[in-house]
Structure formats: structure tokens, C-alpha cells
Structure 1
């Protein structure tokens, strides 16, 4: 079966693997609670497994979140580096391009992020490189998300 082929449940093999990874994460997170040290270790391990370009992006986001939103707790989210609020809800995460074999990585913001802007606003951003411009934009978005 090709990686793009769907299974009987309508999920691709990659999507099915992500769901299994998420179930495993939830069990581990339940044991660890909201432990920052355990979360940081899991996120750094997830980043270490990435290819060079995805790793650079994930390391950049990790540094940005650590600097501008130190109250967010690192934790993995479907095997991806993510950062949660005090309630344990993911606020921001990075979906590496290699995870689903897409042409760009995505920085996503979940429902707890305070990015509301009228009746419509973006919640995901394609990311190809950490440059001074993208670093500033990500810093501003993360700050807004936790304000």
C-alpha cells in the first residue's frame, strides 16, 4: 500500500501512524501530568528525529516560544513539537514538512490561541525558513496567542 493510499477507515498510513502516536503521547502525558521537564524532553526528542530543514524550523520555534511565552509548556502533539497553556491545551505547534511529505512545514495555532481578528483569521502559517522577518512574525503571533 502506498503512503498516500487510504486504509479502510479513510486515513492514509501516515495519518494512521499520527493517530497512534497521539494515543501514545496522551498515555505518557497522563503519567507525567503538566511536568515541564518531561514535556521539554519529549519535544527535544521529537525535534532530534527531524531532517535537517525541519529540525532548524522546529528549533527556531522552540527558541521563540521559550523566549516570548515561557509559561507555555512544551509537549508533543501527534508526534510534533507543541506548546500548551496552563490547562494542558496546545496553543501552538509545528507540523514538519517531512511528517506528511508536504512541501512546507506549518506553524499552527489551536483554539486557546488569542489570534481572533473579527469574523475570520488565519490559524496556520506555511514556514520555509527562520529568517529575521519570520522570527519577528512568529514572535508577534506567539505573544498575541498567549495574551
Structure 2
């Protein structure tokens, strides 16, 4: 089995990114019950990412940034122990499954039926993720934007 390598532009979230996420969670809690639920979802997602092996964590962090930038209306949460992003109805649209979860050789970016990716009678809803690069980021961004369109 080939060795899994991950290339990222950073070694994870910067201190500024972590601080901004904590501030956003505090803002959501201050917004009341609905905001508190969203903040709890973000906290759970970030906690789950922090528990991953370094290669998976680096990918998950980049996925998180790409998803929240491309579709800020999606709500972060965990779903079956995986980082996920749900629409306003609470339905998961996109999720990240780290390779360590089931001992796979690659991580997975997946889309649920709430995603608007339909293309005829057959289309992909899951993508293997081995490394992060500008072209991967571009493709993930395109997919997420299409999923919420």
C-alpha cells in the first residue's frame, strides 16, 4: 500500500484563524438558542478535526475553509462523527470522512442527497482526497457552490 502524503499550504489553522472561529462561535451563542446550536456544531466540528491524525487534520482544515468560504450559509456540525455542513433545514449537504475513521488509504469528501449535484442518471457523490493543492481547492469550491445552488 502506498504511503499517504499530504501537501498543504499551511501546517493547519493559524492562530488568527483559530481566534476568528472562536469569536464566531461566541457571536452565535450570543445570538440566542439557534445561534448557540450553530456554535455548538462548530465547536464539535473543530474538536473532531483536532482529534484527527496530522495528515487528515490538514486536509479537514482546508476543506473546512473551502466549504465555509464557498457556502457560508451551511451550518457546521458533526454527522456520524465526521465534520459535516448542513443546510438551513438541518440536512447534511457535504461531509469529510478522514482516512483514519475506517482505516482507508484516503480521506473522502462526500455529498448527501440535499446537494444539488444531479447530472442525468449517474453522478459522483464521493471523492477521494489524498493531497490538498490549488487545483483541489478550486474543484472542491466548485462542487460546494454547485451543491448549494
TM-score range for the pair, normalised by the shorter chain length: 0.7 to 0.9
TM-score for the superposition, normalised by structure 2: 0.76
TM-score for the superposition, normalised by structure 1: 0.77
- For the residues of structure 2 that align with 1:66 and 1:128, how far apart are their CA atoms? 20
| RMSD between superposed Cα atoms in Å | 1.6
Higher relative contact order (CA 8 A, sep 6+): 2
Alignment check: 8 A CA contact 1:92 1:142 kept: yes
Q: SS of the residue aligned with 2:84?
A: strand
Count of aligned positions: 117
Q: SS of the residue aligned with 1:35?
A: helix
Residue 97 of structure 2 is aligned with which of 95, 99, 122?
A: 95
Gaps of 5+ in 1: 1-30
- For the residues of structure 2 that align with 1:32 and 1:85, how far apart are their CA atoms? 14
Alignment check: 8 A CA contact 1:106 1:125 kept: yes
Gaps of 5+ in 2: 1-32
Runs (4 or more) in structure 1 with deviation over 4 Å come to 31-34
